[in-house]
Amino acid sequence: MSAQKNTRKLESLCGRPATEVVEDLANGIANLIHSSYQVALKTCSTKTVSSDHTHYNPRSVSKKRCAFSKKLGLIKFIQSHLKSPLINSTDNTHTILERNKENQVFCKAISELNTLKPDLPLQEQLQELYLSTKQTINYMDKTRNIERSNLARKKQQKLINANPKQAHKEIFKDKNAQPRAGLQALRDPETNAIVTQPTKQSQIIEKYYTDSLKAVNIKHGKYLPEEAPRQYPWEQKDAPAPIPDPFTLQSHITKNELEGRGQRSWLHSKILDKSTFNEYIV
């Protein structure tokens, strides 16, 4: 009781204010936890959770996959019992069941596999059944992953078309984040190869938009003075006198004069006309 009454507030620690020391230690621990989290994301296998909280597979597909997985486990259980040296690899299903009548669990597992034939070697049938079941599961997973990738790609393409800035921020907001479905790889149009490096993906996207924003009709050929020299008549050095290069501005007045249909009057004569001056100038 005396110790509790005589407690004091800690004001200094190691020659520094206690508050600053505790805050520095807390910041160091927070940075350590953050660094450990980033290292764990890079080194450990992780799984992306869907943003819309949908199931990995539809219910019907999920039930079928669970049934195939259960069948695969049953085949492995039977194969583990067939590793005994007393069982010959050429024994058929009926013979093995007769020799293992007392093992009810083993016999029940074999009976659950309805496709097994009693007159054929059991181990060969199990191996073929294992490979076909494994292939079916892999095909279901591959098909589902393709569907999820296509859905994610279409969703992101829609976002890019509607709001490009927001889409680009989501794509490049965190280089250390786990890649999401539909953003794991890009096809390089120059090499036609799949690219997974984020820096290379950024270069491909940048080049795509740079080429898209270029001018449509770009000048081609040599048109600069040093590439295509001009031959203007007034710049000829060998001419005895400067050669003029007259031209007449085409208008309805000059056209009438050339055709002899009218001669324009001097401008000052029209200015002297008071009515014309007031109408057009004043």
Do 114 and 203 reside in the same domain of the chain?
A: no
List, for the chain, all residue ranges whose pLDDT scores fall below the cut of 70. 1-7, 45-61, 85-86, 172-184, 218-220, 234, 239, 241-246, 263-271, 280-282
Do 138 and 75 reside in the same domain of the chain?
A: yes
Task: Note down the domain range covering 121.
Answer: 60-162
Q: How many domains does the chain have?
A: 2
Task: Flag whether 154 is in a domain.
Answer: yes
Chain center to CA of 133: 33
Residue 7, pLDDT score: 65
pLDDT for 110-144, tens place per residue?
888 878 888 888 888 888 888 888 888 888 888 88
Residues 6+ apart with CB under 8 A from 133: 68, 71, 72, 75
Residues 6+ apart with CB under 8 A from 184: 196
Do 133 and 95 reside in the same domain of the chain?
A: yes
Task: Flag whether 101 is in a domain.
Answer: yes
Residue 2, pLDDT score: 46
Please state the pTM of the whole predicted model.
0.39
Domain-ending residue, one of 103, 130, 162: 162
Burial class of residue 212, CB neighbours in 10 A (0-12, 13-18, 19+): exposed
Residue 139, pLDDT score: 87
Give the pairing of strands 194-195 and 186-187. antiparallel
Do 91 and 145 reside in the same domain of the chain?
A: yes
Do 73 and 140 reside in the same domain of the chain?
A: yes
Domain-ending residue, one of 162, 197, 230: 162
Residue 246, pLDDT score: 66
Residue 74, pLDDT score: 85
Do 154 and 188 reside in the same domain of the chain?
A: no
Do 155 and 82 reside in the same domain of the chain?
A: yes
Task: Flag whether 177 is in a domain.
Answer: no
